[in-house]
Amino acid sequence: MYRSHNCGELRMDHVGQTVTLSGWVQKSRDLGGLTFVDLRDRYGITQLVFNMDENQVLTEKARKLGREFVVRAEGQVRERSSKNANRATGNIEIDVKDLQILNASKTPPFTIEEDTDGGEDLRMKYRYLDLRRGPLQRNLMFRSKLAVETRKYLSDVGFIEVETPNLIKSTPEGARDFVVPSRMNPGEFYALPQSPQTFKQILMVGGFDKYFQIVKCFRDEDLRADRQPEFTQIDCEMSFVTRDQILDTFEGLTKYLFKQMLDTELPDFPKMSYDEAMERYGSDKPDTRFGMEFTDMTETVKGKGFGVFDSAEFIAGICAEGIAESYSNKDLKQLTEWLQRPQIGCKGLVYAKLNNDGTIKSTVGKFYSDDDLKLWAEKMGGKSGDILLLLCGEKEKTQKQLNELRLEMGRRLGLMDPKVFNPLWVVDFPLLEWDEESERFHAMHHPFTSPKTEDIDRMMTGDHETMKALRADAYDLVINGVEIGGGSVRIHDRDLQSKNFDLLGFTKEEAEAQFGFLLGAFEYGAPPHGGIAFGFDRLNAVMNGQNSIRDFIAFPKNTSGRDMMIDAPSPVDNEQLDELYLSLQEIEKSGA
Ligand code: ASP
């Protein structure tokens, strides 16, 4: 027998019992005649004690144990003389009578503790060691439970889990596809799904009514802390439902998950239109844990001879509360430089300090009288002790920049409480986005999203400008500034879907070749339907107040898309290429 108990289990009640534990050596200490070894498994850490006076051979053996050796120890549970209140097993220790080394270990390249000294690539290369650390163990256990609870909730309300294929044809979600060559079909390729979008819609046509799947999706995009080339979604679709019924269902799921996992009762989720989110926060995923909302100052500040403002399309500001005294000119200069970095690209920052003594100091004091500046303060809700921060330029760009500034000030001023969760639905997104460069419309969500009912007629008959103003029945679930999920009511009418493909620049032939199966299905009684997908990795991270999804994925890829442990991607030999018709010679021979 390897163990009678695990390393997190023993308490004062067990004192006097003979037990067997197995695990990894976290660390060992020699104190005169006594040797202490911390033995670790995924349940916790238990202290083993060896006494030189009582058993010299055994204690010498214990002294030779290195970090991460795997051992089995048998002994008696006894009360500790110096207790460790920070550890669940901290009241007891094991007086070891027998020690067996099950496996030795090389010295690990980084410390296997709560905090490690290992850099990211090193930790990924030795993922099996990193996975032994407490934070990763807890993250993956959290993830496992989150999946269980998701399945519980959704199946309780009638959803059926259905698997959809991974070797498919491109499903456009706005990223590049990963492609897989087909040996049996020379010169032809599968695409890995960017999402199961078309399949879940086909399942609705197939009568399944309520579908879900916890599913891998693949997108060949540049990576960031919250993006991986393969990631997991909770993917869902429903038939015969209105938008609000869909939102209610998934608000229910989200509230249930927060309650089960964190014992947190979420408030009802407010709905905010895309336009309102952009006006108030300059972002379609606003962090609503704090205020500092935008004030449009365009009309207020023009016409006083300050050329930069006078020539700007849009001027807006935020009010940073209570920092007039603590923020020096040097801090403001540094903030301006932060805004001028190419990632943000501001030309400059205009500010007005509302000093506690009633005076106002502004970078543009030359052009604006005290009364003018008082009017600014009034408009922006500023009071003594606050600083007004204004940016200007082309509207969309300025909104984006001011959003960055707002978030940065939120971070600097500690306004983003990690214990607070502020969910909301952002609704009524634009249907189409005009891309100047390619001179084409792109689907803001994806090509299967329905326009709002009241916009359907305009979509079928309207001109180019009309198309820009169409609203979609699309929605995002946002929590603390992170897009947790997104979805839409779908088009279920063949003509409307054809029109949408047409607007997106697909010829009839292209649409038929790529999505003929869906258009075909729509001719056989497609029910009205809609759905959503949650980013499962992100949901895990946000619920744990973290930005990066990497430590919620057992085997993630680094920012270059590499798996450092198995060293993928990697070259394949010529024979394999030949077999897949990927060498030029073979493609020519096959006539494809
Ligand atoms: N397929 C969509 C996505 O991956 C979600 C949806 O519309 O249900 O974002």
Q: Give the tens place of pLDDT for each residue, 2-54.
A: 999 999 999 999 999 999 999 999 999 999 899 999 999 999 999 999 999 99
The atom number, within ligand 1, closest to the CA of 200 reads: 8
Q: Coil, helix or strand for 24?
A: strand
The atom number, within ligand 1, closest to the CA of 532 reads: 8
The whole-number average pLDDT for the span 85-108 is 97
Owner of token pair 């919250």 = 226
What pLDDT is stored for residue 570 in this prediction? 93
CB atoms within 10 A of CB 453: 10
* 569 prior amide bond cis, ω within 30: yes
Cα(13) to centroid of ligand 1, in Å? 52
Atom 6 of ligand 1, residue of closest alpha carbon: 487
Residue 590 has pLDDT above 70, yes or no: no
Residue 139 near ligand 1, beta carbon < 6 Å? no
Residue 447 near ligand 1, beta carbon < 6 Å? no
Atom 1 of ligand 1, residue of closest alpha carbon: 197
Residue 401 near ligand 1, beta carbon < 6 Å? no
pLDDT higher at 590 or 37: 37
Per-residue confidence band for 587, with pLDDT thresholds at 50, 70 and 90: low
What's the angle, vertex CA 86, arms to CA 84 and CA 92, rounded to 5? 40
Atom 8 of ligand 1, residue of closest alpha carbon: 532
Mean pLDDT of the chain: 95
What DSSP assignment string belongs to 489-556?
A: EBP--HHHHHHHHHHTT--HHHHHHHHHHHHHHTTTTPPPEEEEEEEHHHHHHHHTT-S-SGGGSSS-
For a pocket test of ligand 1, which of 159, 173, 192 has the largest count of ligand atoms closer than 8 A to its C-beta? 173
339 vs 336: CA distance, rounded Å: 5
Residue 203 near ligand 1, beta carbon < 6 Å? no
Cα(449) to centroid of ligand 1, in Å? 9
pTM over 0.75: yes
The whole-number average pLDDT for the span 241-267 is 98
Topology annotation, domain 137-272+422-552: BirA Bifunctional Protein; domain 2 (3.30.930)
Residue 488 near ligand 1, beta carbon < 6 Å? yes
Residue 164 near ligand 1, beta carbon < 6 Å? no
pLDDT in tens, 347-385: 999 999 999 999 999 999 999 999 999 999 999 999 999
Residue 197 near ligand 1, beta carbon < 6 Å? yes
Cα(532) to centroid of ligand 1, in Å? 6
Residue 487 near ligand 1, beta carbon < 6 Å? yes
| Percent share of the chain, pLDDT over 90 | 91
Question: Is 166 exposed, middle or buried (CB count within 10 Å of its CB: 0-12, 13-18, 19+)?
Answer: middle
The pair of structure tokens assigned to 456 is: 């359907």
What pLDDT is stored for residue 171 in this prediction? 73
pLDDT higher at 585 or 99: 99
What pLDDT is stored for residue 199 in this prediction? 97
Residue 592 has pLDDT above 70, yes or no: no
Residue 563 has what DSSP assignment? B
For a pocket test of ligand 1, which of 233, 450, 538 has the largest count of ligand atoms closer than 8 A to its C-beta? 233
Atom 4 of ligand 1, residue of closest alpha carbon: 195
pLDDT in tens, 402-452: 999 999 999 999 999 989 999 999 999 999 999 989 899 999 999 999 999
CATH code: domain 290-412 is 3.30.1360.30
Residue 221 has pLDDT above 60, yes or no: yes
Residue 393 has pLDDT above 80, yes or no: yes
Cβ-Cβ contacts under 8 Å for 508 (sequence gap 6 or more): 498, 502
For a pocket test of ligand 1, which of 235, 444, 484 has the largest count of ligand atoms closer than 8 A to its C-beta? 235
Residue 387 has what DSSP assignment? E
Q: 224-238, 457-471, 578-592: lowest mean pLDDT where?
A: 578-592
Q: Sketch the domain layout of the chain as residue ranges.
A: 12-103, 137-272+422-552, 290-412, 564-592
Residue 531 near ligand 1, beta carbon < 6 Å? yes
Per-residue confidence band for 586, with pLDDT thresholds at 50, 70 and 90: low
Name 352's bridge partners: 362, 388
CATH code: domain 12-103 is 2.40.50.140
For a pocket test of ligand 1, which of 170, 171, 195 has the largest count of ligand atoms closer than 8 A to its C-beta? 195
